[in-house]
Structure 1
Amino acid sequence: MISTLRPALVLLALFTALTGLAYPLAVTGLAQLALPEAANGSPVVVGGRVVGSSLIGQSFTSKRYFHGRPSATTGADPADPAKSIEDPYNAASSTGSNLGPSSAALAEAVKARVAALGGGPVPADLVTASASGLDPDISPAAAALQVSRVASARGLPEDEVRALVNGSTMGRRFGLLGEPRVNVLALNLALDALNR
């Protein structure tokens, strides 16, 4: 019996060391060498202080700031940890809502979000959550829709805020992947720098 068990235990220890230690350390080391900023979470630093990540959205609710996509993430209810509550951009609970196009709850949520934005045609990314619930970017159309509100709240000319949005718009990756986008955190930080 020991002759049968010994090779199995040796293989278990070997593959645990290879796949549980050596491989993760090698990949982490390569990532730190090749892309240290991305490997460390793409932190955004302002004045020597980390204010967020360019990869994870944040909840901006003030009229003075551009708002990102709705977030479907949740967190534990402080009053009852067995229950969950809405917790926008909670990276520890990244998930979509799992509500499909025929969902009445989704239709009601979208109607409420459209009404809150003044009704009429609204870019889809302002009224629907992303698959992760953590999307840091919005479409240029979603940013353009918010220019008037932000300019009014800050007492800035709309043309100046619109120029800031245009300057913050990133094109397709490598010229062909994805869609043009605006990073909400970067745009809001540029807005704060403009309004000082």
Structure 2
Amino acid sequence: MNTFKIDFRLGAIAGAALIAAFVSACTTTTPMCESPKTSNLDAAVADVQGSLMNGCEASYDRYFDDLLTIAEGDPKPENKRAFSEFLVWSNDQGLLSRRQAERHYNRYFNVKFMALEGDYNNCSHTCPRRDRVYRDMERELNDKERGLLKVAMDNESYYQANELFQEVELVLEATCTACSANKAQ
């Protein structure tokens, strides 16, 4: 009788373990979405690409920031190419539209300001929101400093962007002053 109780208990435990194994096999595991652990940009890009293809798409912006941070640890002109290729890959995989990929690249690695899309000489469009345009451009200039100077060591392009920023400030100020004068007439 004792043997029957022990065998029954072992059978019940084994059956419960088997059921638990089947149930856990049916559930999906949540991806870890961890930041890359390497200081090598090319290896980090490969890690990030693997994570993005395995369910971590929602972490794209954090991964992009992680890659920038890693590249800051070993700044060189070739880093621009690595980011360009990563953004092209992101577009090819459907993670970013072509326009989004271009905006990411231009925001960090081009002298052109994305905050100035459209006609910034327009009295009715830009002047009423001039302070916001300035703030957006200042944020973007900070991103250009990070990308052009700290990641790619492209001093010349950063100084061009900084000069463009100052010129745009002057043009906007003059445009909005002229717009105000025309309204007063």
Choose 1 or 2 for highest CA Rg. Answer: 2
Q: Give the structure-2-normalised TM-score.
A: 0.25
**Structure ranking higher in helix proportion:** 2
Relative to the length of structure 1, the TM-score reads: 0.24
